[in-house]
Chains A and B, each alone.
Chain A
Amino acid sequence: MSYTDKTPNCNMHEAMVSYLYDEASVEECRQVEAHLVECRSCKEELEAFHRVRGMLQQWQIDDLPVVRVETTARRSFFEVLRELFTLMPVWAKATGAVAALMLVLAALGTEVSIGKQGFSLSADITRSNKRSASDAEQIRVDLRVMVNDMILASERQQKDELTMKLVALESQLQSAHQSDLVRLAASIEDQRARIKTIERDIDRREGLNLADILFSELTNDRDERRTDKKIGD
């Protein structure tokens, strides 16, 4: 029997893994076994793969996580809405009801008027005659005026807010400036006091030096006189 080294012609990759995991067909088994008899390299590789598999099997899992899936029943959109409505506070329910009513009235084209006759409602669908073109024009003009008024009011409000902000800013700056001045004055006073202390210190030292000089001159004169006297004797 003569073994050969592995060559690119071996081309047994797929068949070999199938054989390794007992998934090879009869034909594949026959081919692989015949090849292993001749090819030393593939034979060694297959043995190595068996060893790798043995090592892989050493890694077994002991612990297990606690998996919890919240399996609450799926609810429909209306069920969710109903629950939301139940949980709502009374004021929210009332607001919702009024809003809904206004929407319905708006959809019906209802006109609300308060006059001498009191409060009255009239729905578009109940009126037989339609609004004339002049009415529509009047409404358009009124709307334009209303929108312009709203824009002007908004601009005025913005302007007022801006002015107030500027005033507040100016006040802040002034107070900051004042406090800076006070700090500066205190600092100057402090420096002046230090300078005075230093001046006093210098004066004292100069006085001491003068005394030393005078004192030392007197001592020298006395010593000289003593020396002269000794020489005369």
Chain B
Amino acid sequence: MELSDTQIIERTLGGDTDAFNLLVRRWERHIYGLTLRMLGRDDEAKDATQETFLSAYRNLSKFRGEAKFSSWIYRIALNICNTRLRGRSRFVISIEEQREESGFEPVADTNDLGDNIQQQQITLHVRRALQSLPAEMRQVIVMKEYEGLKFSEIADILGIPLSTVKTRMYTGLSEMRKRLERLREAI
């Protein structure tokens, strides 16, 4: 029978420190996905993932069983991402935002390209469009769209009202629609 997150935490705190690696293996894909989509850079996302699990291990005794482990570790990961995003140069972000807000220029006539290349193009533009969103909208979209969390869970993780989560989701989707509209026309 598979151990629950809470059982693994109890074992880890009880001295079986290797048990924590079970949690790492179980959640690393989710945390990496979250950090990559929040930060947009592979190497930085890998560092943030490592940092998240290290922080979780060090603070495991502070984890209260009332909340789900997933909510707790998502919160740690988001805090780490937000710290890294705040540390980035404002100048670089503003240039990126200016470029993204004007829409996207497809690099070539995509009708002539293979499906694979076309998908890569879409992925690239989605990635850039997502990066150009304000972090508070992006984190809601990422948690909902890629992590499949319920709105109430997102509200719990972020510590904000449910209605705020839904408003951010709506605004975020509207912004993504604007940014991706030209790409859709091109393909």
Interface residues, chain A, with chain B CB atoms under 8 Å away: 13-14, 16-18, 20-21, 23, 45, 48-49, 51-53, 55-59, 61, 63-65, 67-69, 71-74
List residues of chain B with CB within 8 A of the CB of A67.
24, 28, 32, 49-50, 53
List residues of chain B with CB within 8 A of the CB of A17.
151, 166, 169-170, 173
List residues of chain B with CB within 8 A of the CB of A20.
173
- Contacts A21-B144, A64-B28: A69 and B54 contacting too (C-beta < 8 A)? yes
Interface residues, chain B, with chain A CB atoms under 8 Å away: 12, 15, 17-18, 20-21, 24, 28-29, 32-33, 36-37, 42, 45-46, 49-50, 53-54, 57, 119, 122-123, 125-127, 130, 141, 144-146, 150-151, 163, 166-167, 169-170, 173-174, 176-177, 180, 183-184
A192 to chain B, nearest CB (A): 63
- Contacts A56-B141, A67-B50, A71-B57: A23 and B150 contacting too (C-beta < 8 A)? yes
Question: Would you call B21 and A69 a contact (CB within 8 A)?
Answer: yes
Task: Point out the residue from B18, B33, B127, B170 that lies within 8 Å of A13, measured CB to CB.
Answer: B170
Question: Would you call B144 and A14 a contact (CB within 8 A)?
Answer: no
List residues of chain A with CB within 8 A of the CB of B180.
51-52, 55
List residues of chain B with CB within 8 A of the CB of A48.
177
Please list 9 pairs of residues, one from A and one from B, whose beta carbons are closer than 8 Å in the complex, sorted by A's number: A14-B166, A17-B166, A45-B174, A52-B173, A53-B173, A56-B141, A59-B123, A64-B28, A73-B15
List residues of chain B with CB within 8 A of the CB of A73.
15, 17
> Complex Cα distance A61/B119, Å?
13
Question: Would you call B21 and A71 a contact (CB within 8 A)?
Answer: yes
List residues of chain A with CB within 8 A of the CB of B28.
64-65, 67
> Complex Cα distance A15/B25, Å?
37
Question: Would you call A69 and B53 a contact (CB within 8 A)?
Answer: yes
Task: Point out the residue from B32, B50, B53, B125 that lies within 8 Å of A64, measured CB to CB.
Answer: B32
CB-based nearest A residue for B124: A59
